[in-house]
Amino acid sequence: MGVAHAIRQRADCMRRQVGAILVKDKRIISTGYNGTPRGTKNCTEGGCERCNGSEEKYPRGTHLDKCVCSHAEENVITQAALHGMPTKDAVLYTTNAPCTTCAKMLINAGIKKIVMEGHYPDELGANLLREVGIVVEKFGDKNEEKAI
Residues marked active site are found at 73
Whether the Cβ atoms of residue 76 and residue 20 lie closer than 8 Å to each other: yes
Residue 11 and residue 69: Cα distance in Å, rounded? 10
Please state, in angstroms and as integers, the Cα–Cα distance from residue 23 to each residue in 2, 3, 8, following that order: 13, 11, 16
Q: Which contiguous run of DSSP H or E holds residue 28?
A: strand 27-33
Instruction: Report the 3 state secondary structure along 118-146.
Output: CCCCCHHHHHHHHHHCCEEEECCCCCHHH
Strand order of the β-sheet with 27-33 is: 27-33, 19-24, 91-94, 113-116, 135-138
Element (H, E) at 104: helix 100-108
